Amino acid sequence: MNVIRIFLLSASLALGGCASTSHNPKDPLESFNRGVYQFNDTLDKAVTKPVAQGYNAVMPPPLKLMISNFFSNLNDITVAINNLLQFKIVDAISDGGRVVVNTTVGLFGVADVASAVGMKKHNEDFGQTLGYWGINSGPYLVLPFFGPSSVRDGVGLVADSSTNPLHRIEPVDERNQIIATSVVDKRAILLNKEEVLDTAALDRYAFIRDGYLQRRRSLVYDGDPPREKFEDEDDGSAPDKSSSSSNPEDAPAAVAEAASPAAPQPSSHHRIWLTQQESNR
């Protein structure tokens, strides 16, 4: 799967006139995005989810953990590079150390020895690096196959693909098989979280979008984003600063963050759902 071609195709379609009547200023391409979301959802239900369910059914938990650790170790290379680009030198050294320790003592990353000895895993990518240097996220954008993103994070996805060792594996057939295993592994991890998403979401698309934007903003600001003012807040009130980004590849994580005192304020969809939950008690 060529990340660059897919992103450029998405961007060209979006800029080609898929304007929407969306009332959400962060999602001016909503009609286009919903179409891509439906495509991704159909593909997931037909292929990815059943394969992930089979993977969970036949794969022993210890082996699944080893596979997840292997891909996580490769990701630490990208994390280290982006921490360096953000001048987070201590974290970059720690991430590089994780790669060395897990690749050697951890047998190519199948054992997360680094975490066991207190070397914390971080979460950084080039989209966050651009945000760190003041680049706005731009419109929300749903990418074919990849799902929730933004114009900034789409560019970051292309950049990060160049630092992923998986993309340098030859021959191509073996590379594709390993990348497919990575996708199935990630999808299998999300299976148990779907019930939370189905319960909380009045509109799955909007819920995932709001969760993604909140989570991403939180990551850019290392968990302490400034508050933004809500549309329904009084214009005469003191200027607010808010978080609007959340969702790392999984929207259900936004539910937990919304319940946290330090988390961003819930979106209108979250508020409606919370009100309904209260009335049902």
Residues of the chain below pLDDT 70: 1-22, 229-281
What is the rounded CA–CA span in Å between residue 231 and residue 25? 11
The three-state (H, E, C) secondary structure of 96-140, written as one string = HHHHHHHHHCCCCCCCCHHHHCCCCCCCCCHHHHHHHCCCCCCCE
Buried b (16+ CB within 10 A) or exposed e, 174-208: eeeeebeebebbebbebeeeeebbeebbeeebbbb
Domain ranges within the chain, ordered by starting residue: 3-191, 201-280
266 upstream amide cis, omega within 30 of 0: no
For residue 214, give every residue at least 6 positions away whose Cβ sits within 8 Å of its Cβ, in sequence order, or none: 243, 244, 245, 246, 247, 254, 257, 258, 263, 264, 267
Question: Degrees (nearest 5) of the Cα angle 128, 133, 134?
Answer: 95
Closest CA to 242 of 26, 3, 11: 26
Cα separation of 152 and 165, whole Å?
22
Q: What is the pLDDT of residues 27-66, one digit of tens each?
A: 999 999 999 999 999 999 999 999 999 999 999 999 999 9
> What is the C-alpha to C-alpha distance for residues 136 and 4, in angstroms, rounded to an integer?
21
Q: pTM of the predicted model, to two decimals?
A: 0.74
- Identify whether the C-beta of residue 7 lies closer than 8 Å to the C-beta of residue 17: no
Please give the pLDDT value at position 195: 74
pLDDT at 229: 64
